[in-house]
Amino acid sequence: VYPRQKQYDHVLVHGANLIATRARIAFLIKLWLDGVRFNKLVFLTGARMLDAKQEPLAALEDKAQTILPVRPDWQFDAPMAYKTETDMTKLVYDQALLPAELRSVPVQFVDAAPTVAADGTVKRPTTVDTLVTWLRGNPVPGTCLFISNQPFVGYQDSITRTVLQSAFTIETVGFAIPAPYESVSLYLDSLARWLY
């Protein structure tokens, strides 16, 4: 799903695991190169602890990965400082080889806190939590382009329209899921979340 316009007030990138975060930033770069412009870039992330299997430190510093080109001058500093999705997203954005004009766009990292259920269970921040946290900062109402990927575009668009105030015009876009990651269970789970 591609943008219908070329100019937005806010572009917001939904949080994700390491691979999807890199792919979403790569999609952001593609949109920029296709002429999409915006006044502010926002990453909707949270205090989800990194998964040691999906997001090991070695993967964070992998300059050879092919999803998102890394700046040639990028250095991995203080590896122990990267513990949450927000930490990881900041690192991936910092290491990304971006067009100079895109790098100059003001950027904000939303860091939604985990929630505690009635039984004391700590739950990772959700899409709703990141949106509510962003709204607490009183963003200027306007046009918003949200970046996700399939099969989550419809689900995240529905949540965003439910949470955001009517002062925001919302559009959600995203790239197709790569074939190796496709599965019936993933599609059904996303559809169930969308319907729920």
18/59 Cα distance (integer angstroms): 8
Residue 112 tokens read as 């939604």
Rounded Cα gap, residues 90 and 80, in angstroms: 14
The confidence band for 187, taking pLDDT boundaries of 50, 70 and 90, is: low
- Token reading at 135: 């709204």
Per-residue pLDDT of 2-39, as tens digits, reads 999 999 999 999 999 999 999 999 999 999 999 999 99
As a whole number of angstroms, the distance between CA 148 and CA 154 comes to 9
- 14 and 44 in contact (C-beta within 8 Å)? yes
Between CA 112 and CA 118 the distance in angstroms is: 19
Q: pLDDT of 88-147, one tens digit each? A: 999 999 999 999 999 999 999 999 999 888 898 989 999 999 999 999 999 999 999 999
* Predicted TM-score (pTM) of this structure: 0.90
Q: How many Å apart are CA 43 and CA 46, to the nearest integer?
A: 9
- Label residue 179 by pLDDT band (50, 70, 90): low
> In this predicted model, which residue has the larger pLDDT, 124 or 180?
124
One-letter amino acid identity for 49?
M
Going by the DSSP 8-state scheme, the letter that residue 81 receives in this structure is G
Tokens of residue 66, six digits: 């092919």
**Residue 166 pLDDT exceeds 70:** yes
